Structure 1
Amino acid sequence: MTGAAPNAADQVSFERIQEAAALIKGAVLETPCLPAPRLSQLTGAEIYVKYENMQVTGSFKERGALVKLSSLSPDEKAGGVIAVSAGNHAQGVSYNAGRLGIPATIVMPVLTPFVKIAATRGYGAEVVLAGNTLAEAKAEADRLAKERGLVWVHPYDDADVINGQGTIAAEMLASQPDLDVLVVPIGGGGLIAGMATAAKAIKPSVEVIGVETALYPGMWGAFHGKEVRCEGATIAEGIAVRDIGDLTTAVVKASVDDILLVSETSIEQAINAYLTMQRTIAEGAGAAGLAGLLSDRERFAGKRTGLVLTGGNIDPRLLSKIVVRELARDGRLVSIRIDTPDRPGVLGEIATVIGDMQGNVVDVEHHRLFLNVPAKGATLDVTFEAFDRPHGERVVAALRDRGFVVRYLEIGERMD
């Protein structure tokens, strides 16, 4: 899985993207690109969303994988392919290899969530678990590729893969020709390289802006000629790429207008916005484009902006956690600790005050046995819903007016 030589003009072109579009037509869903008025109101831009989370495997990766697999010779197809991935690329390769009758081996780190392993196996691929990281998994994949004579399907640094991903921009501009800017998540760079190539050929005036998580700014560093460090736990694991591609970097430098870095908090906010405003699911990487707009509203204000929701494969438990965290950030879910005398009726009194103020109690923990609670006292941890932050503050003020000692907690905080 070595990087391709950056001979970008010969390998990645609009003509090849058009050929890729014809090849995948009918086999890959042409997802809708629709206006999103509530997101437009939130950001100040006129937003249109390309819903790649609607693909069979839940992400855009099917496009490039199918183009690459279709390019193989009969002997290569019979011999089989290999890929390294802990997520969407694995499923895109295994699904399309199964459709084409190509044996596929996917090497995944041993710590890959079981749901992703099961999904990949479900499409018919042989899954090999090796190493704790993608780098360690790649070492095993290199060994298997040589031993078995398998063809590599690179997740991003391959011309066929890049051309396949470029079909997204062609579809977006066919559906919404008046777009001023495309905002595209960046991992290794295959998606934005293909999209920028297509977009600039169709409409040279359109801006193409990339978005990376600030924890993995590899392409940003290459674009600006700066040394960067890529590390840390990110909610956008789909774009947490340390080693960007050679070919993708050449295309990005030639065709992309700028790259933005976004925080983990802004990605969480974007995931929540897609869920609550668009009633659709975005994984961290899939929401990175919207996170870019939330981080720099002034830059995109009034512009007709196309976002690619690249994938929706997020752990439901993580999604629920994000929703709760966003409710807390907005002041609509309030967690407080109340010191009370240990006497009958206190809990009812507190619940009555909150109810009379139109708050809704959702969780109560009553502590009277811990050593840091007075022997004749008790402590209540109460979580309640409020209309907004000022409403929650009024509820807390009402409790204090009744003589209760109240302090705010972070959601999830408990007694020491």
Structure 2
Amino acid sequence: MCFFEYWHWIDVMSPATLVGMDINAIRDAQRTLAEHLDPTPAWGAPALDEVTGCQVVLKHEEVQPTGAFKVRGGLNLLAGMSPTMRAAGVVSASTGNHGQSLAFAARRFGARCRIVLPEPANPTKVRALRAWGAEVVLHGSTMEAAAGHAMALAERTGARFVHPANEPALIAGVGTLYLELLTTHPDLDYLFVPVGGGSGAASACLVADAVAPNCRVIGVQASASRAAHDSWRAGELLTRPNRTEVEGLAIGSGYRATQAVLGRYLADFVLVDDASVRAAQLLLLTHAHTMAEGAGAASLAGVLSRRSELAGARVGVVVTGGNASPAELAGVLDAPHVTAA
């Protein structure tokens, strides 16, 4: 069996990926993370209201110590591991932010961390991974190839392989950002969430169902890497071409654990092209003093794609990360400006 096939086999067959995901696990994670992270701000941006026609509330996860929301999941997962498991270390595949979350947590808990990235890798994220103490391995040109190599490495060394999405502890950890947001702003009509593997969107659904049931959660994915979107629409796990340049959304398959939650709770799912994401990054920079990486701006791109339907609504927009490379930022500055509707 090749590593690509094994990657999908473990995703489909593991029953452990379907348990331990509920609001109680997220509340437990919130208590765990209180020792390590402060809540991030969530506030309005009136200049964005004018352009979108909505009342926008931005959740600023780009201010996390790793520059992205994923740090919550890594800390929650490592906090729940035994000293023996930590000593064996963790191994995973990532385009950058998931890897940084594990690297940060491994440094905090004294564990070895190895992260496999596909080439070419964002140099900003590689530098950050190494600064947090991770051992960086470059392998293959896709996340699927990198994941296969990471699993083989874990099997050889006895380390804990950490799936980037099918991990209840990761989902519970990232869910704490939505618990913060929807506890503070329970009157949101909509919550737009970027989707790669889907851990953030799944946790958003679980929290909204528990504390803000009138808030509709909308997933946003890149049209050039639409596997999660198509899996949700079809009600079955699908693979699709993975061609987006938006790193955090560059996933080529649907994942069972997150799709199980999305299939039950997600209100809608929209696709945006890469150019729209770049335009949303520029809008965040010019209208909200916020530097977002592509995935961090995808939620706003989703809002802009639906603004005729959202007039006057209160809309939560999650800026999931700000780890943009210099080359990416240069492309953002060349993006077209978005004008008011």
Percent identical: 36
Go from structure 1 to structure 2 and tell me whether the alpha carbon gap of 1:111 and 1:266 turns closer, same or farther (over 3 Å shift).
closer
Is the 1:107–1:140 contact (alpha carbons within 8 Å) kept by the matching residues of 2?
A: yes
Is the 1:83–1:106 contact (alpha carbons within 8 Å) kept by the matching residues of 2?
A: yes
* CA-to-aligned-CA distance 1:22-41 (integer Å, 9 cap, x gap): 00014123110101111111
Is the 2:193–2:219 contact (alpha carbons within 8 Å) kept by the matching residues of 1?
A: yes
Residue 251 of structure 1 corresponds to which residue in structure 2?
Answer: 261
Q: Which runs of 5+ in 2 are unaligned?
A: 1-6
Residue 399 of structure 1 corresponds to which residue in structure 2?
Answer: none
Structure 1 segment 313-332 matched on structure 2, within 5 A: 313-326=323-336
Could you tell me how far 1:137 is from its partner in structure 2? 2.0
SS at match of 2:188: coil
What is the CA RMSD across the aligned residues, in angstroms? 2.0
Q: How many residues align?
A: 329
Is the 1:181–1:208 contact (alpha carbons within 8 Å) kept by the matching residues of 2?
A: yes
Matched, 1:312 2:318: no
Aligned match for 2:120, one of 111, 124, 127: 111
Is the 1:28–1:62 contact (alpha carbons within 8 Å) kept by the matching residues of 2?
A: no
* CA-to-aligned-CA distance 1:163-198 (integer Å, 9 cap, x gap): 111111110012212111111011111001011101
TM-score normalised over the length of structure 1? 0.75
Structure 1 segment 60-139 matched on structure 2, within 5 A: 60-139=69-148
SS at match of 2:335: helix
Amino acid at match of 1:296: R
Is the 1:6–1:246 contact (alpha carbons within 8 Å) kept by the matching residues of 2?
A: no
Aligned match for 2:232, one of 205, 223, 227: 223
Structure 1 segment 268-347 matched on structure 2, within 5 A: 268-326=278-336
Residue 250 of structure 2 corresponds to which residue in structure 1?
Answer: 240
Amino acid at match of 1:214: S
* CA-to-aligned-CA distance 1:321-364 (integer Å, 9 cap, x gap): 3222326x88xxxxxxxxxxxxxxxxxxxxxxxxxxxxxxxxxx
* CA-to-aligned-CA distance 1:251-309 (integer Å, 9 cap, x gap): 00111111011122221111010001111111111111100111111222111111100
Q: Distance in 1 between matches of 2:135 and 2:72?
A: 21
Could you tell me how far 1:231 is from its partner in structure 2? 2.8
* CA-to-aligned-CA distance 1:91-133 (integer Å, 9 cap, x gap): 1110111011011111122421333222111111111222233
SS at match of 2:137: strand
The answer to which structure, 1 or 2, has the higher relative contact order (CA under 8 A, 6+ apart) is: 2
Is the 1:65–1:161 contact (alpha carbons within 8 Å) kept by the matching residues of 2?
A: yes
Is the 2:235–2:263 contact (alpha carbons within 8 Å) kept by the matching residues of 1?
A: no
Could you tell me how far 1:311 is from its partner in structure 2? 0.6
Is the 2:278–2:331 contact (alpha carbons within 8 Å) kept by the matching residues of 1?
A: no
Is the 2:275–2:335 contact (alpha carbons within 8 Å) kept by the matching residues of 1?
A: no
Go from structure 1 to structure 2 and tell me whether the alpha carbon gap of 1:248 and 1:229 turns closer, same or farther (over 3 Å shift).
closer
Q: Distance in 2 between matches of 1:298 and 1:229?
A: 31
Is the 1:286–1:309 contact (alpha carbons within 8 Å) kept by the matching residues of 2?
A: yes
Is the 1:110–1:131 contact (alpha carbons within 8 Å) kept by the matching residues of 2?
A: yes
* CA-to-aligned-CA distance 1:351-379 (integer Å, 9 cap, x gap): xxxxxxxxxxxxxxxxxxxxxxxxxxxxx
Amino acid at match of 1:230: R
Residue 25 of structure 1 corresponds to which residue in structure 2?
Answer: 34
SS at match of 2:323: coil
Could you tell me how far 1:229 is from its partner in structure 2? 6.6
Aligned match for 2:11, one of 3, 6, 20: 3
SS at match of 1:3: helix
Is the 1:208–1:257 contact (alpha carbons within 8 Å) kept by the matching residues of 2?
A: yes
Residue 189 of structure 1 corresponds to which residue in structure 2?
Answer: 198
Q: Distance in 1 between matches of 2:18 and 2:328?
A: 41
SS at match of 2:336: helix
Residue 23 of structure 2 corresponds to which residue in structure 1?
Answer: 14
Q: Distance in 2 between matches of 1:109 and 1:292?
A: 27
Residue 3 of structure 2 corresponds to which residue in structure 1?
Answer: none
Q: Relative to total residues, which structure has the larger helix share, 1 or 2?
A: 2
Could you tell me how far 1:234 is from its partner in structure 2? 2.4
SS at match of 2:172: helix
Q: Distance in 2 between matches of 1:88 and 1:199?
A: 24
Q: Distance in 1 between matches of 2:19 and 2:235?
A: 27
Higher Rg of the two aligned structures? 1
Q: Distance in 1 between matches of 2:119 and 2:18?
A: 38
Go from structure 1 to structure 2 and tell me whether the alpha carbon gap of 1:157 and 1:76 turns closer, same or farther (over 3 Å shift).
same
Amino acid at match of 2:224: L
Amino acid at match of 1:48: V
Is the 1:8–1:250 contact (alpha carbons within 8 Å) kept by the matching residues of 2?
A: no
Aligned match for 1:201, one of 193, 207, 210: 210
Is the 1:219–1:249 contact (alpha carbons within 8 Å) kept by the matching residues of 2?
A: yes
